[in-house]
Amino acid sequence: MIKNLNLSYNRLSGEIPDTGRIKSFNRSSFLGNVGLCGGSALLGRPPCVVQKREYIIRKSILYPLVAAVAVVCVLVAVFVYCFFFFFRKRDSKPEHPEHRMLRVMGSPSHHGSQIFTQRELEIATGEFNESHLLGRGTSGAVYKAVIDNGENNQNIVAVKVLHGDGNQSYRSFKRECQIMSQVKHRNLVRMVGYTWNKQFKALILEYIDNGNLAQHLYPGELEEGACELSLRDRMSIAIDVASGLEYLQEGCPVQIMHCDIKPENVLIDNNMVAHVADFGIGKLNAAVKSNESHVSTTHFLRGSIGYIPPEYGQGIEVSAKGDIYSFGVMVLEMITRRRPTSNMFPDGLDLRKWVVSSFPDHVWDVVDSTLKEIQSTHGALDELEKCCIQMLDVGLMCTEENPHERPAMSFVVQKLKQVMKSSNII
């Protein structure tokens, strides 16, 4: 056992333990070691202050760090508040007509659509001058507009100024426009952008300048006028429209019901490719002003007279089968070139019943006579009759009174393509 210990003048430093045998030694054991501290009171050494010094160091670092984090959090909170306050204020107030256009091209939040101001569209349409008017319907008026894209280039677009519910929120309208902007198909009219404020709503659409199907079927708006559409043209258009509807019903990220399929809503481009227009207008217009033959008096009865499926009048909600019915009526109209609202149909008779009365043995009684005139110069009238019967059969299938008996649009597309592929008509 150690009885004596002499560590004098060894330049030692640190804390002297105050436990065990070492606490019984006197101060002479540690002379000349100025770096030592602590130990028993008998040693006469100053108390150790290492822990206190470390605490001071930690405090000198920690306090500024906490303060810096607090300042950053406050700044972030202020920024977030200002951001949401700005956009809420912008959404709740009508946009001033002198504000310039805000373009959001390729922005993920707007799915590539562009936002235009009302003033920008007024300039592009000559203050919505009648000379720019392309058409007027119950969902709104359509104007031709010239938009400067900022690169010394000008794009021609169609601006559809919507009648609608002034109480619809910007968030709801924007969401519907975002859904429409995701719809991309060669047989659907592409949406370019939109405009919204409390008093004004508009869609900016792809411009297609070769008229609509009704204008091609009825030149001069006369059923007796000369029509230059061959049966092959009409079959191709029917396939295009069916393909667009198939995408809306079965291939779109969100199923969309058109609610107003008719020749006026089928645009034809210079290559005779058909594009379905006004899809989504049924959703965007919560309260449409009704006039003429267009009906939109309740949430379930939408469409144009003659094309509305019978179940809608019974209070059944809109469905894909309803659009299939409207398409079937349009197919019958394309082959017969008779409007479903024609004055030739007395009470109790409609386009479908008129076709059924002659189908299939006396089909020439209902087929558009101009088809026979076009085909007669090339012969093969038997082939024409066969194709007309097949096309009318598709129209009759789609217009079955019971919606459950109507085929799916994918089946209709395949059926029409088979008819086209097997035919030898011009």
For residue 244, what is the enclosing H or E element? helix 231-246
Question: CB count, 10 Å around CB of 265?
Answer: 25
Classify burial at 201, counting beta carbons within 10 Å of its beta carbon; exposed 0-12, middle 13-18, buried 19 or more.
buried
Residue whose entry in the numeric block shows the structure tokens 């598709």? 394
CA-CA distances (angstroms) from residue 331 to 108, 219, 273, 355, 416? Answer: 39, 18, 16, 12, 11
Q: Does 160 show up as a binding residue in the annotation?
A: yes
Give bridge partners of residue 123 from the DSSP assignment.
none
- Cα four-point dihedral sign 116, 120, 124, 129: positive
Of 355, 357, 347, 425, nearest to 392 by C-alpha is 355
- H-state helical runs in 93-230: 118-124, 170-182, 213-217
Which of 233, 240, 260, 278 is catalytic? The answer is 260
Amino acid letter at 195?
A: T
Of 272, 278, 279, nearest to 247 by C-alpha is 279
Structure tokens at 411: 């089946």
Question: CB count, 10 Å around CB of 162?
Answer: 20
382 is catalytic: no
The 8-class DSSP code of residue 254 comes to S
Question: CB count, 10 Å around CB of 273?
Answer: 15
Structure tokens at 394: 């598709």
The 8-class DSSP code of residue 207 comes to -
Amino acid letter at 298?
A: T
Contact 296, 319 (CB under 8 A): no
Q: Which residues are annotated as a binding site for ATP?
A: 160
Q: Which residues are catalytic?
A: 260
Q: Which residues are annotated as a binding site?
A: 160
